[in-house]
Amino acid sequence: MSTASTSSVATRALRPRDSADVAEIIATHPRALEPIGGGALRGVGHEVDADILALDALAGVVAYEPEELVMTALAGTPLATVERDLAAHAQRLAFEPPDFGALLDNAAPRTIGGVLAANLAGSRRVSAGAARDHFLGCEAVTGRGERFKAGGRVVKNVTGYDVPKVLAGSWGTLAVLTAVTVRVAPLPETERTLVVPSATADDALLVMSAALGSPHDVSAAAFDAERGCVLRMEGFAASVDAREAALARMLRGAWSAESGAAGAPQRLVSARGEIATLGADESRALWAAIGGAVALAPWPVVWRISVPPTDAPRVLAALAPERHLLDWGGGLIWAAFSSVESARVRGAVREGHATLFKAPREARAANAVFHPQPPALALATERLKHAFDPGGRLSPGRLG
Amino acid sequence: MQSAGAYSVQPLWCLIAAMICLPTPDAALVARRAEIVRALRGLVRADNVIDDDVRLAAYETDALTAYRQRPLAVALPESTAEVAAILRYAAREGVKVVPRGAGTSLSGGAIPAADAIVVGLGKFNRILDVDYANRCVVAQSGVTNLAISHAVAAEGFYYAPDPSSQIACTIGGNVAENSGGVHCLKYGLTTNNVLGVELVTPEGDVVRLGGKHLDSGGYDFLGLVVGSEGLLGIVTEVTVRILRRPETARALLIGFDAVESAGACVAAIIAAGITPAGMEMMDAPAIHAAEAFVGVGYPLDVAALLIVELDGPAVEVDLLVGRVATIARANGAKYERASASERERLAFWAGRKAAFPAVGRISPDYYCMDGTIPRRELPRVLGAIAEMSARFRLKVANVFHAGDGNLHPLILYDANVPGELDRAEAFGSEILKLCVDTGGVLTGEHGVGLEKRDLMTYQFEDADLEVQHRIKHAFDPDVRFNPGKVFPTLRRCAEQGREHVHAGRQRFPNLPRF
């Protein structure tokens, strides 16, 4: 192992070369450790009083079998490397890991381990699942410094507890991932986005729910007051053509008898606008920006709020943010403010959770960043943490 | 092994038929049976506590019928509050608990223990909320899998995971087992389709994990509970996502001279960026057995038969049927037919879905395995199984969820011929170890349960199992929930035991199994 200064991390960092190093450091290092990949998400959550355990030296794709739809990579492998290798075989990560570089003003590289540890998914979450849904197996080191493996390298596996699920979204507080196996998906031939004028969040909800509940395989649905509703379709070109036409027809109200679909036929497009279409390149750029909440980057405080989609208009009205985006068909609210507004935000969320995703350091220190849990769940959280990391050695306090 | 008064404890904990040990019952608990029954009758309606031998017999096994064990008693609560009251009582008194849905587990997940009470969720049979705008259904955990799809069918929706037992198995059981089905290559397993649960912890606390929103705020306990085989608590309510039913579906029937060609065809379909809704393979013995049973017109002169189903918008399905046919020809298909009608599509499936009972017709007993392998290993694994078949002098028919590498070899034997059962078990064990050796796993969808418990050490190192044990202890510090399942115990008497079916005496003879 070595102690060195990494380019992306300003402070001194321990840089293990392999999983044995990771285990030895965790078992012997006198202070708590903050595991990071490239450090792209260090600005999220409470700051941790710990030395950095930088995993960027654990890099490289270990095995990639396109015809098996699986890839195994060391946890510190840059996401860019993973995505490049996949693209060379016309494949991708279906959960669309979002790039928060602009939002968080942090140019540090993302790693595959970091993406999974944070369980962050982009706009395709609503159709393809979250990072955790594609996380098949791993090798990791517990807070006790013990190396273990969990899950497997095949998609269909019910052998033992699904430990990768609980490591996804644990932000490095339970164990340090050293190698991960992910399920990958074919890259679609093409994609297109329908832009549907919608004046209000209520209108948008109707459009997004109708689109996502249609048989036209809409893979993402978002709303931005400045643009309206955007509905994404991906797949084989002939299929995308047909679905685009059918979805537009449906939204204009010419639908109902032909599809025998749910609900009364309804004119969902407000009278003052027309439906526009974005081609593949424009569509990709648009969804990358939505997934990364780039439009909210100028604001110092940004909340990421997960709610039942139909609850979104009510929550938005209660929040009255300075700028907002709805993604996941309304199930994800990005809300930007000049100040923290913790009581207002958390008070508005009846079901779901609100994360203070971006805020100045002092504001994060003074507020719960992750959604407070009811007592029984808080107890379970404490016990699970203790099961993996009884000495509180891995990013203590990060998830508060 | 002490007898315990009036209650007849079965004398052999190691069940002779399949030689897997149930944990040695705690004699003190068994001796307290009358008191426990009395206490339960104070917590739920008296007639919802079963303690008579006649009615208890219905609960002594699940679909892994080689194992039987009578529990102390069965409680059938009617509300979450009653479940919580039972579990608080059980925690206080140190009583062990075996949760039970419909009892269709193929791995013995719901088999009772002699010193445990069974908590049956049969009365949790209501669908609580159908929410099309949020595309989800909230159901009590005893609702059957198929009932959820039925509840939303009129509006054109369905619940995607479709285990073969879906007319009987419960959604709570699906959560416990992380059930799959023939469509999980495209639509995922239970874990990818469940949004939330209400869980009563072993200590009797009621927690809600997830809900109509996506992803959890803290640790993903929902992801941990799905597939936990009833070891972490009792699920009383489940929120699932529902999908719009695809506009259309078509299937292709493709025959090959060699298993290798069929395997190469499967890989080429995936490599072409096509994700079929289902992709099934049968080998010659399975094809012949199925055709003899249901007569759907399968070709009998092929070594391997693929069923490839495509679903989605009609334009896309027609396009992909053409592409798959082209790929099949390029990989040496000698037989190829695409369904031209819904009736024909269902006929293609009828043979595959009848494969298990068809094999049951040609052999007094069969034995179903459930390993998963990387798809590319298929020719090697089938070759090795053929070699084992000769060595163990037992026939085998292979059916295979080819899309996701989940193999179901059916080992044919006759329990009345001395030595055949032992050979079948040794054969099965060798197959599962081979699955692990090729980079696969012991079980793709049936669960570890009692059946494969003692093989866990073949797939996992001590350190891996230690992590799982610690998770168990975090939820269930006294280790009272579903004792003897999933994890190897210190007392180990054999490594075998699969789903044994003797002379059609299956516990659920009317349930399709595929």
If DSSP codes are grouped into helix, strand and coil, which group holds residue B483? Answer: coil
Average pLDDT for residues A321-329, to the nearest whole number?
Answer: 98
d(C-alpha A5, C-alpha A12), whole Å:
5
CB contact under 8 A, B471 and A166: yes
User: Residue B376: which of A68, A121, A188 has the nearest Cβ?
Assistant: A68
What's the pLDDT tens digit per position in A248-266?
A: 988 887 444 444 444 444 5
Residue B441: CB atoms within 10 Å: 25
Half-sphere exposure of A275 (CA within 13 A, CB side): 21
Predicted confidence at residue B509, as pLDDT, reads: 63
What's the pLDDT tens digit per position in A89-118?
A: 999 999 999 999 999 999 999 999 999 999
Predicted confidence at residue A3, as pLDDT, reads: 46
User: Residue B315: which of A212, A239, A399 has the nearest Cβ?
Assistant: A239
User: Residue A158: which of B227, B320, B440 has the nearest Cβ?
Assistant: B227
Predicted confidence at residue B508, as pLDDT, reads: 65
- A209 Cα to chain B: minimum distance (Å): 6
Predicted confidence at residue B495, as pLDDT, reads: 34
What's the pLDDT tens digit per position in A28-46?
A: 999 999 999 999 999 999 9
Predicted confidence at residue B67, as pLDDT, reads: 81
Predicted confidence at residue A235, as pLDDT, reads: 97
Angle formed at CA B205 by CA B201 and CA B210, multiple of 5 degrees? 75
Half-sphere exposure of A339 (CA within 13 A, CB side): 4
Q: Give the strands of the sheet with A12-15, arranged side by side.
A: A2-5, A12-15, A51-54, A33-36
Predicted confidence at residue A2, as pLDDT, reads: 47
- A298 Cα to chain B: minimum distance (Å): 25
- A343 Cα to chain B: minimum distance (Å): 17
Interface residue of A146, A161, A305 to substitute, partner B, most B CBs within 10 Å: A161
Give me the tens of pLDDT residue by residue for chain B, a chain 514 residues long.
333 333 333 333 334 344 567 778 999 999 999 999 999 999 999 999 999 999 999 999 998 877 889 999 999 999 999 999 999 999 999 999 999 999 999 899 999 999 999 999 999 999 999 999 999 999 999 999 999 999 999 999 999 999 988 999 999 999 999 999 889 999 999 999 999 999 999 999 999 999 999 998 899 999 999 999 999 999 999 999 999 999 999 999 999 999 999 999 999 999 999 999 999 999 999 999 999 999 999 999 999 999 999 999 999 999 999 999 999 999 999 999 999 999 999 999 999 988 888 998 999 988 899 999 999 899 899 999 999 999 999 999 999 999 999 999 999 999 899 999 889 989 999 999 999 999 999 999 999 998 899 899 999 999 999 999 999 999 999 999 999 999 986 433 333 334 455 544 556 666 667 6
Provide, as residue numbers in chain B, all residues whose Cβ is less than 8 Å from the Cβ of A158. Answer: 177-178, 180, 189, 227, 443-448
- A260 Cα to chain B: minimum distance (Å): 8
Give the position of tokens 């994800």: A332
Contact with chain B for residue A213, Cβ under 8 A: yes
List A residues 323-342 in contact with B (Cβ-Cβ < 8 A).
328, 331-332
Provide, as residue numbers in chain B, all residues whose Cβ is less than 8 Å from the Cβ of A241. Answer: 315
d(C-alpha B229, C-alpha B447), whole Å:
7
Predicted confidence at residue B290, as pLDDT, reads: 95
Question: Which residue of A lies nearest to B451 if distances are taken between CA atoms?
Answer: A159
Average pLDDT for residues A258-280, to the nearest whole number?
Answer: 63
CB contact under 8 A, B461 and A310: no
Provide, as residue numbers in chain A, all residues whose Cβ is less than 8 Å from the Cβ of B245. Answer: 215
Burial class, A375, CB count within 10 angstroms (exposed 0-12 / middle 13-18 / buried 19+) = exposed
With residue A386 as reference, give the H or E element that holds it.
helix A375-388
pLDDT at A287 over 60: yes
Question: Which residue of B lies nearest to A331 if distances are taken between CA atoms?
Answer: B213
Residue % of chain A over a pLDDT of 90: 88
Provide, as residue numbers in chain B, all residues whose Cβ is less than 8 Å from the Cβ of A119. Answer: 215, 220
User: Residue B213: which of A242, A246, A351 has the nearest Cβ?
Assistant: A351
3-state secondary structure B429-451: HHHHHHHHHCCCECCCCCCCCCC
Interface residue of A46, A138, A158, A370 to substitute, partner B, most B CBs within 10 Å: A158
Burial class, B161, CB count within 10 angstroms (exposed 0-12 / middle 13-18 / buried 19+) = buried
By residue count, chain A amounts to: 400
A127-143 CB burial, b ≥16 within 10 A, e <16: bbbbbbbbbbbbbbbbb
CB contact under 8 A, B456 and A159: yes
H-state helical runs in B213-277: 221-225, 259-271
CB contact under 8 A, A154 and B214: no
Predicted confidence at residue B507, as pLDDT, reads: 61
pLDDT at A393 over 50: yes
CB contact under 8 A, B474 and A209: no
CB contact under 8 A, B444 and A119: no
A268 or A144, which is more confident? A144
d(C-alpha B443, C-alpha B449), whole Å:
10
Predicted confidence at residue B284, as pLDDT, reads: 96
- B15 Cα to chain A: minimum distance (Å): 23
- A375 Cα to chain B: minimum distance (Å): 9
User: Residue A376: which of B205, B227, B320 has the nearest Cβ?
Assistant: B205
Q: Give the strands of the sheet with A70-74, arranged side by side.
A: A61-65, A70-74, A175-183, A135-142, A147-151
Predicted confidence at residue B353, as pLDDT, reads: 87
Interface residue of B215, B451, B472 to substitute, partner A, most A CBs within 10 Å: B215
Predicted confidence at residue B222, as pLDDT, reads: 98
Confidence bin at A13 (pLDDT 50/70/90):
confident
B332 or A11, which is more confident? B332
Give the A:B interface size as CB pairs under 8 Å. Answer: 272
If DSSP codes are grouped into helix, strand and coil, which group holds residue B428? Answer: helix
Is the Cα dihedral A268, A274, A279, A281 positive or negative? Answer: negative
Question: Which residue of A lies nearest to B180 if distances are taken between CA atoms?
Answer: A156
User: Residue A186: which of B180, B212, B275 has the nearest Cβ?
Assistant: B275
User: Residue B474: which of A155, A328, A387 has the nearest Cβ?
Assistant: A387
User: Residue A383: which of B441, B447, B474 has the nearest Cβ?
Assistant: B474
List A residues 52-111 in contact with B (Cβ-Cβ < 8 A).
65-70, 90
